[in-house]
Chain A
């Protein structure tokens, strides 16, 4: 049943950077299903911008591994979704293509950085979309827009073709209105790719099962502490209550390394980003650099003009954190902190099967509300730890505060993505019924 899907969405939330009005598809498990792809994932023949002016006009000559898999599964790739520039933000406001609005409340941000994918799903323009998650970029917009978002275990999905922001932290993952669809999309994209040397051959091939009887659910105190809106905490506790009602057992756990998590996360992601984003110099791709100038001057002029303020800020932060005289205090210490957080999660996950808490400390912000970088960074406090630990985490809608969606976050052991999906599915089935 191969064919072409006509796709002419009413993109009132500015979810897409590029739409493919005639999207070809083939046979397969997703035959004819419209799938949106975040614009930092390479698509052969379809421009890929990372939400940045510096990649304006860039058309990759190759598909990311996940895109190859989507095409093989018959999906119709209907467009590339809006995002914070290079994934650097939690609101999708740093995009060079204008902010995306939250379908749950158009005066609010959809979260970020995969805000376009979340909005496209939440608005019903597509049933599922690919996002990427470096410190919460799938789960944050999933929570803010009221959809499901899965960040897989690090090394379960190929990063080949994902335009790197922070290589050691990020994964491509699925976003959908239901856990079942998020799981279906995950089944398509989680296959071994030898081109990603940090990957393990642990394909995901799973249909969710709503069974939590006897499950031990860890509740970390750090996920309900200072900075977390008590009303959000309450919704999440209610949701955990639902799991208990289904036969799960709750156990208090502690992740003491959490107090270092955000600083460690920002040092690591900006350090890696400063190196990853150095290649954008207007020579091999992107708007052309002025070749009449000498190289440093030419690069500086180009990068000043074409990178947004947040990207330049993070590149500079990472450059600083790696620079002579500071690398020991920042980059090296952040690695130690990261190891301790990973050990904290491993220890906790020996006592319990999963860890549950809020995805985000608050509901979606108003557009333009977060102007100060630090207050923006702080909103990643509950999501970034899973990236530091490399563990799977899913956000599933669990009610509303002030009419705005709240997300329940479920984290599990490495390569137990199936389990976090099952718990989210059990919860979803129970509250839907």
Chain B
């Protein structure tokens, strides 16, 4: 059973904003979905490595990338060639 405070914690982990009035509805839906997921409890066995593709590499040879202008073109705001981001201190 997932509680409303679990939902708030998950939203925090995912950096997904959640408004107060959404919490009850999200919690209800979450519990219904997770109840459906419970069928996985009946899966037997452990995960075993799937032998598929392995060892895919690129050689260590430089290739041209984007110009500074292209790198910054989609950024919301920039300053002296840097991309502006929220504060972290």
The reply to whether A and B meet directly (CB within 8 Å) is: yes
Residues in chain A within 8 A of chain B (CB atoms): 57-59, 61, 155, 194, 197-198, 200, 259-260, 262-264, 266-267, 274, 278, 281-305, 307, 312-313, 315-317, 319-321, 323, 329-330, 332-337, 339-340, 342, 373-374, 377
Q: How far is the CB of A56 from chain B (nearest CB, A)?
A: 11
A300: chain B residues at CB < 8 Å are 11-12, 15-17
Q: Check if B16 sits within 8 Å of A316, measured CB to CB.
A: yes
| B43 and A336 form a contact (CB under 8 A) | yes
Given the complex of chains A and B, what is the CA–CA distance between A169 and B70 in angstroms? 31
**0/1 interface trace, chain B 58-69, chain A, CB 8 Å (1 if under):** 100000001000
B77: min CB distance to chain A, Å: 6
Q: Are B33 and A373 touching (Cβ within 8 A)?
A: yes
Point out the residues of chain A lying under 8 angstroms from B48, CB to CB: 339
Asked whether B37 lies within 8 Å of A263 as measured between CB atoms, the reply is yes
Closest to A337 in B: B43
Assess A333 versus B40: contact at CB under 8 Å? Given A295-B86, A339-B48. Answer: yes
Residues of B within 8 A of A (CB): 2, 7, 10-19, 26, 29-30, 32-34, 36-48, 50, 53, 56, 58, 66, 70, 73-77, 83-88
A260 to B39 alpha-carbon distance, docked (Å)? 6
A291 touches which of B44, B74, B77 (Cβ 8 Å): B77
Say which residue of B2, B16, B44 sits within 8 Å of A315 (CB atoms). B16
Q: Please, which residues of chain A bring their CB within 8 A of the CB of B26?
A: 313, 316
10 A-B pairs, CB-CB below 8 angstroms? A57-B74, A198-B56, A262-B36, A302-B17, A304-B17, A305-B17, A319-B16, A321-B37, A332-B47, A377-B36
Residue contact B36 to A374, C-beta cutoff 8 Å: yes
Knowing that A260-B39, A291-B77, A374-B32 touch, tell me 9 more A-B residue pairs with CB under 8 angstroms. Answer: A61-B74, A283-B76, A289-B86, A291-B85, A293-B86, A303-B15, A313-B29, A333-B40, A333-B41
Contact A296 B76 (CB under 8 A): no
User: Hey, which chain B residues are within 8 Å of A298, CB to CB?
Assistant: 86
Q: Which B residues lie within 8 Å of A197 (CB)?
A: 53, 56
Q: How far is the CA of A170 from the CA of B38 in the complex (A)?
A: 25
A289 near B66: Cβ-Cβ < 8 Å: no
Q: With contacts A260-B39, A289-B85, A330-B40 known, is A316 near B7, CB below 8 A?
A: yes
Q: How many interface contacts (CB-CB < 8 Å) are there between A and B?
A: 154
Smallest distance from the beta carbon of A400 to chain B beta carbons, Å?
Answer: 31
B86 in contact with A290 (CB, 8 Å): yes
**Are A284 and B74 in touch, CB under 8 angstroms?**
yes
A259 to B87, CA, bound (A): 48
Candidates A296, A302, A319, A336; contact of B47 at CB < 8 Å: A336
Shortest beta-carbon contacts, A-B, top 5 = A288-B76, A304-B17, A285-B74, A300-B17, A298-B86
A329 to chain B: which residues have CB within 8 Å?
Answer: 40-41
Closest CB in chain B relative to A411 CB, distance in Å: 19
Q: Are A319 and B86 in contact (CB under 8 A)?
A: no
A319 vs B34: C-alpha distance when bound (angstroms): 13
Which residues of the other chain, A, contact B19 by a CB distance below 8 angstroms? Answer: 304
Interface centre among A283, A289, A292, by most chain B C-beta atoms within 10 angstroms, is: A283
Alpha-carbon distance A198/B50, docked complex (angstroms) = 13
Q: Are A294 and B15 in contact (CB under 8 A)?
A: no
Most buried by A among B10, B19, B83: B10
**B17 adjacent to A295 (CB under 8 Å):** no
| Set of chain A residues within 8 Å of B16, measured between Cβ atoms | 300, 303-304, 307, 312, 315-316, 319
Contact of A285 among B32, B66, B75 (CB under 8 A): B75
